[in-house]
């Protein structure tokens, strides 16, 4: 049926409210979408890029975008170079209204009640690409143009939406400069960084620079990084902005399949989130900046539950108090030789000589080379038990979960998560991308967790409201000031 668009309202022939609107009407709390996506309209974006950086930079960006990349290589060249299959066909096409909704803030606003959404945090789609460009001039110009455009087109909708600034983070200095511009000059209250940077291996870059692009490592900004990112984290605290990220990990590890998008995409955001979260904890960032919130988006929470349990298990057994149990210096070789003499028939003849290097220093078995470093991996964190890990992981981490993800329940399961932890899973619609075939159903799909008794009403309150409010409002009490959810968030945070 043809659309009738009048005064910002859309009527599509549906009789009565959507099921999402009905679900929202029964809830006693608002619904905050922690991660919707805009689809940039190319001609408008290029106009902003020309304004920000000039026509030459805009032309260079357009030429680079159309240069071919994966598509410009033959199938054999892709395999020979192990060029990972890039993203493709990632936006709605048949559902033209949904496609337009992601492109036009006014249309999105007009449909939000049908979606059951009170407020939405809106991320750029293009930022997932441009914030990772190797060319610094293009990277910074394209991100700044995005931010300038978003500030302009979303400004009139601040009561229902908060756009997110794209902050390139190849160096802490560029990140701080773009962060200051986005927050202090453009008025952003939410920001996104790229949480991993592909860097060349120094040994290859020094000896064979022409091959450096093929020998890289993932810098997670926190562990053995090429730069000290503490000034960036400190600046985020000063500006009262949470650090949010949904960086992909395609091109790393096992995600380098040349001809299969699904293979590379499944688990990509989760793997990148896991690397970043682990580095934040073990690199001491959450200890040094205990008031800074971090969000890991589009990867769900199941990986976080596994990571948390794994870190707890390691910290219980490898903390300074317990690591002596596995220190090779503490192995009683005489007692071991006696046990072999009594029970080792068929393995040894008689009693082994404890001083025999084949017995006492068997590689990888009973005795490793002296390694004082490994005994002190947790010293800087002050961890004396597994429970100490919880305070470095749970309080300030938030996890974006898409509406159809049944594993959301793992984050809320204090019976399973060590020490009763409840990980802060957030409802994240991902509206605008291929995995949302019908925008009107995202809240409906999320509510299935309650209908299937995987979450109770209190859990759902936290999932679709409290956690997103805490992520941003916990950093900036004024984040939701002037919005339709201001009063409810204010009561929640108090």
Does residue 78 contact residue 70 with C-beta atoms inside 8 Å?
A: yes
Phi, psi of 398 (to 5 degrees): -130, 145
The set of residues, in sequence order, having a beta carbon less than 8 Å from that of 386 and lying 6+ positions away, is: 312, 313, 315, 316, 319, 418, 419
pLDDT for the residue 366: 52
pLDDT tens digits, residue range 446-458? 999 999 999 999 9
Sign of CA dihedral 365, 369, 370, 376: negative
The per-residue pLDDT for 65 is 79
What distance in Å separates the CA atoms of residue 243 and residue 172, rounded to the nearest whole number?
A: 13
Write the pLDDT tens digit of every residue in 147-184.
Answer: 999 999 999 999 999 999 999 999 999 999 999 999 99
How much is the mean pLDDT over the chain? 92
Q: Taking a C-beta distance cutoff of 8 angstroms, is the pair 281, 392 a contact? A: yes
46 Cβ contact list (under 8 Å, min separation 6): 58, 61, 62
Amino acid 8: pLDDT:
37
Question: Which candidate, 243, 241, 242, 307, places its Cα nearest to that of 270?
Answer: 307
Of 204, 208, 165, 206, nearest to 184 by C-alpha is 165
Q: Which pLDDT score is estimated for 357?
A: 78
Q: Which of 406, 489, 399, 398 is closest to 447 using CA atoms?
A: 406
Which of 235, 231, 197 is closest to 217 using CA atoms? 197
So what's the pLDDT on residue 1? 37
Neighbours of 93 (CB within 10 A): 9
CATH topology of domain 29-318+392-493: TIM Barrel (3.20.20)
pLDDT value of position 249: 87
Query: So what's the pLDDT on residue 222?
Result: 94
Sign of CA pseudo-dihedral 90, 57, 155, 241? positive
Q: Are 292 and 396 in contact (CB under 8 A)?
A: yes
According to DSSP, the residues that pair with 4 across neighbouring strands are: 11
pLDDT beneath 50: ranges in the chain: 1-9, 11-13, 363-364
Contact by Cβ (8 Å): 219, 225:
yes
Q: What is the pLDDT of residue 369?
A: 65
pLDDT of residue 6: 38
Instruction: Please report, for the chain, the start and end positions of each structural domain, with discontinuous segments joined by +.
Output: 29-318+392-493, 328-379
pLDDT score, position 156: 97
Helix or strand or coil: residue 192? strand
Residue 304: burial class (beta carbons within 10 Å; 0-12, 13-18, 19+): buried
pLDDT by residue (tens digit) across 71-100? Answer: 889 999 999 988 898 888 988 899 999 999
């Amino acid at each position: 049926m043809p659309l009738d668009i009048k005064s910002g309202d859309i009527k599509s022939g549906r009789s009565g409210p959507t099921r999402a609107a009905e679900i929202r009407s029964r809830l006693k709390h608002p619904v905050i979408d922690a991660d919707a996506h805009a689809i940039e309209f190319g001609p408008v974006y290029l106009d902003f890029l020309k304004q920000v950086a000039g026509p030459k930079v805009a032309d260079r960006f357009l030429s680079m975008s159309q240069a071919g990349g994966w598509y410009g290589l033959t199938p054999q060249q892709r395999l020979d170079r192990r060029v990972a299959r890039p993203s493709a066909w990632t936006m709605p096409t048949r559902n033209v209204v949904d496609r337009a909704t992601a492109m036009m803030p006014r249309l999105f606003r007009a449909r939000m009640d049908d979606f059951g959404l009170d407020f939405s945090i809106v991320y750029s789609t293009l930022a997932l690409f441009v914030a990772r460009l190797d060319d610094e001039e293009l990277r910074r110009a394209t991100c700044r143009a995005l931010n300038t455009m978003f500030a302009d087109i979303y400004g009139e909708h601040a009561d229902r939406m908060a756009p997110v600034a794209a902050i390139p983070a190849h160096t802490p200095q560029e990140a701080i400069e773009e962060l200051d511009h986005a927050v202090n000059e453009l008025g952003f209250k939410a920001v996104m960084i790229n949480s991993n940077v592909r860097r060349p291996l120094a040994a290859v870059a020094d000896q064979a620079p022409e091959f450096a692009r093929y020998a890289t490592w993932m810098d997670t900004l926190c562990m053995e990084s090429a730069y000290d990112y503490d000034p960036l984290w400190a600046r985020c605290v000063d500006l009262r902005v949470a650090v949010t990220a949904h960086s992909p990990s395609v091109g790393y590890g096992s995600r380098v399949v040349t001809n299969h998008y699904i293979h590379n995409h499944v688990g990509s955001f989760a793997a990148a989130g896991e690397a970043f979260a682990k580095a934040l904890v073990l690199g001491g960032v959450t200890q040094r900046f205990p008031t800074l919130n971090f969000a890991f988006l589009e990867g769900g929470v199941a990986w976080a539950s596994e990571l948390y349990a794994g870190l707890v298990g390691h910290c219980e057994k490898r903390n300074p108090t317990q690591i002596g149990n596995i220190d090779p210096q503490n192995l009683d070789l005489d007692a071991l030789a006696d046990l072999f003499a009594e029970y080792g028939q068929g393995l040894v003849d008689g009693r082994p000589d404890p001083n025999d290097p084949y017995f006492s220093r068997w590689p990888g078995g009973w005795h490793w080379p002296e390694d004082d470093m490994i005994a002190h991996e947790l010293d800087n964190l002050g961890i004396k038990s597994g429970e100490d890990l919880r305070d470095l992981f749970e309080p300030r981490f938030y996890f974006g979960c898409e509406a159809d993800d049944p594993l959301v329940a793992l984050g809320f399961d204090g019976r399973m998560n060590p020490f009763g932890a409840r990980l802060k899973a957030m409802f994240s619609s991902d509206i605008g991308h291929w995995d949302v075939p019908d925008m009107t159903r995202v809240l409906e799909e999320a509510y299935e967790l309650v209908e299937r008794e995987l979450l109770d009403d209190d859990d759902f309150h936290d999932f679709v409201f409290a956690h997103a409010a805490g992520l941003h409002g916990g950093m900036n009490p004024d984040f939701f000031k002037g919005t339709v959810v201001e009063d409810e968030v204010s009561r929640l945070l108090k």
